[in-house]
A and B are shown apart, each in its own frame.
Chain A
């Protein structure tokens, strides 16, 4: 028996809802196993049980052939299971060293023996080629290094089973390459690795076998080398995926957005500099770049949430830089923000109130400082019907809606105002394929109706598919403009990392 992990017929219920339904899988020593599934398919629940955060309703887990009882993360750790979470479990105010040893500190007398800890960690770092700076504070290091700290945390605890939860989500293509090397090194040393993802390309590159789960059930376990990407996708979604979009030819002559020499600061650092951007009617311009390269600040500057240091922003020829968010909204700029629950909506308010968030303050809804709730609710009912928002009534709280329907409330509010410029920031992050299709359709509809669209996304495929033109941003600067028709995602990846701007640029 060389099965390090064996999951046997595990079921996990929350109330009457089965998050995992009779799941079984095996993991061997030195193997990299991919776990593929959509958001909400039950991957995290399964890994939660494997890392001691959740208890299975029925079924059992064998570790090294013995039945494992894990009541808390500590138990899982003792069995050699190390988890690298998608949202890093690090403490920004602590040093890298403190983060690694926390909970398992070597002590001398009653004091922590930092020297001993450091020596031990340095040894591991050399063995696995993990480049980390032990004395830096975690809040000062890059995302890539934070992930290496997470890996080191598991190594330090002598883990031999590694679980990686969506590890590539926030990495640059180069950091992903580095991670894949580390994964191979781990496997070569005889560690077993589970790699959770919904990205097919990475599975093809690194995994030996792949378990596909959908709606809490295992659909199939396949050898990666013998399976095509398309097949994996179909198994994951459960139907043929048709993501083709109806991109009409529309006139793209009239300039809508013109950003010139823009400079934006955040937290006393230059986040956007010397930035130029134009978008025309009927055009989708995609901004490609790794998270944290000035995209958020760019959007905040355009929508009036952040001060502009220098440069100009014109919409329809009117200068709008440093206007208030409300003035800019009135000038015809709509925005689907990335953080729907915290920025796009006010969850404890009703659907109708949320739909009125950008119109409540002027006539006819507001007169003499008083609000006309009858009108608010009436408008709400209309938009709910037009945009097919599934709800009981317009007075239902938005917080009680499903994620997909919450997204629809925002889309409805922003599109109903018929903006000249629509900004969409990672509009499909964290939603499932059905909702992705809906949102992509709506964005394309806006373009085809002759509106200008600014799409910011970390998903290269999304950018390549929707955009008429792509601008690559790195450290707040434009590194190149490219035509999605003649660019591969590899080239795009290189540019996003700030490497050699390839001039496939189209002149505009």
Chain B
């Protein structure tokens, strides 16, 4: 077990390193200074309290969408629907808080978060049900549901929430915000909010779910071997639906917290929120380990927040950090090569000694 997690961590570190090298090569080839930029990035992400607050805040939805992806993945499903689930979560939360603004703050927040999580869960469960009962590929259905979510939410925001002629909903009432005065004061007005602690609690819950609970065990068995689970009496269909439900709940919660903690409203958008795809990247780098996800979210969040200051302090386009992120995931995806290289070196040594033996 120890060697397995060691292998996972070393794979991740090699991939991160290689990703940064790719970024450096790209910068060098266009005449930018990689060291200076990486330094700016580091300062931009951790240089002062405000930046740290932003970086930690940006982690929240990365952690939650990554956990969502990981739960589905453990059950053997590729839930690419993170962006859509995040979006319907975000929308439902804002819609709830705008409509029930007379409720006391605590109820407003709890209700809003619950609303967002459940909406995300239902959105993802559609794919789960179709997969469990009709055998429809969840890869395709979640992709399609992403775009349905995008166009539907755009329509709903414009027609139901926004004022005539506007593309954005009004802001939620102050008491519904997760970004309280206290947090603003200690983080120098950053968007850091209570959602961060919710995300950490959820990490612990998901770890516990997979390692200690019966349902988590069933999810794992279904993911590892569906027919063996069926034979062992596991209700495979129910397990698939539950796993997809949890997966969507988490992504939806990510959207909900961002809605109440960061954006305070929702606007029409041309594109799917990139956090859903980035969350997938976070989970892949962490090899879907809940604890690993926290660290990998920290890295990606720092890249994104720090990346903003790259273009402030130099004329290097900040998209360079997205290139680094994509490169890291590329290297994660070909981890087999690293394993092969390690093995080959080991085998090569062995083969030489064998040959020597044969010649004698």
* A residues adjacent to B (C-beta < 8 A): 13, 15-16, 58, 303-305, 324-326, 329, 335, 337, 339, 342-349, 353, 357-358, 360-361, 366, 369-371, 373, 395
Given A346-B228, A347-B224, A370-B213, 7 further pairs, Cβ under 8 A: A58-B358, A343-B228, A348-B224, A357-B221, A369-B215, A370-B212, A371-B217
B273 to chain A, nearest CB (A): 34
Using a CB-CB cutoff of 8 Å, which residues 316-360 of chain B contact chain A?
Answer: 347, 350, 354, 358
The chain B residues found within 8 Å of chain A, CB to CB, are 1, 212-215, 217-218, 220-221, 224-225, 227-235, 347, 350, 354, 358
Distance in Å: Cβ of B233 to nearest Cβ of chain A: 3
Known contacts: A324-B233, A360-B217. The answer to whether A347 contacts B225 by CB under 8 A is yes
State A360–B217 Cα separation when bound (angstroms).
Answer: 9
Docked Cα-Cα span, A344 to B358, in Å, equals: 42
Q: How far apart are the CA atoms of A101 and B224 in the complex, in Å? A: 38
Q: A13-B354, A361-B214, A371-B214 are in contact. Are A329 and B233 (CB under 8 A)?
A: yes
A52 to B231, CA, bound (A): 39
CA distance A369 to B217 in the complex (A): 10
Contacts of A326 in B (CB 8 A): 233-235
Does B225 lie within 8 Å of A325, measured CB to CB?
no
A324:B215 contact, CB within 8 angstroms: no
Task: Knowing A16-B350, A347-B225 are in contact, say whether A325-B231 is a contact too (CB < 8 A).
Answer: yes
On whether the beta carbons of B227 and A342 are closer than 8 Å, the reply is yes
CA distance A483 to B1 in the complex (A): 53
- Contact with B214, one of A304, A325, A366 (Cβ below 8 angstroms): A366
CB distance from A342 to the nearest CB of B (A): 6
For A344, list chain B residues within 8 Å (CB). 228, 231
Q: Is there an interface contact between A360 and B231, defined as CB atoms closer than 8 Å?
A: no
Ordered by A's residue number, 8 sampled pairs between the chains whose C-beta atoms are within 8 Å are A335-B231, A339-B227, A345-B228, A346-B221, A348-B224, A357-B221, A369-B214, A370-B212
**Residues of A with C-beta under 8 A to B232:** 325, 357-358
Instruction: From known contacts A360-B214, A370-B213, A371-B213, infer whether A349 and B231 are also in contact, taking CB-CB under 8 Å.
Output: no
Q: Report yes or no: B213 in contact with A369, Cβ–Cβ below 8 A.
A: yes
The residue from A305, A347, A371 contacting B231, defined by CB atoms under 8 A apart: A305
B residues within 8 A CB of A353? 217
Structural contact, B213 and A337, CB atoms closer than 8 A: no
Residues of A within 8 A of B354 (CB): 13, 16
Query: When chains A and B are docked, how far (Å) is the Cα of A435 from the Cα of B213?
Result: 36
Kindly list chain A residues whose C-beta atoms are within 8 Å of the C-beta of B217: 353, 360, 371
| A349 near B221: Cβ-Cβ < 8 Å | yes
List, in ascending order, chain B residues with CB within 8 A of A325's CB.
230-233
For A370, the chain B residues whose CB sits under 8 A away are 212-214
Q: In the complex the two chains form, what is the Cα distance from A329 to B230 in whole Å?
A: 12
In the bound complex, what is the Cα–Cα distance between A348 and B220 (angstroms)?
10
Question: How distant is the Cα of A152 from the Cα of B306 in the complex, in angstroms?
Answer: 65
CA distance A199 to B234 in the complex (A): 39
Task: Give B222 Cβ to nearest chain A Cβ, in Å.
Answer: 10
Q: Nearest residue in B to A303 (C-beta to C-beta)?
A: B231
CA distance A58 to B224 in the complex (A): 40
**Pairs A-B, 4 closest by C-beta atoms:** A326-B233, A357-B232, A325-B233, A346-B225
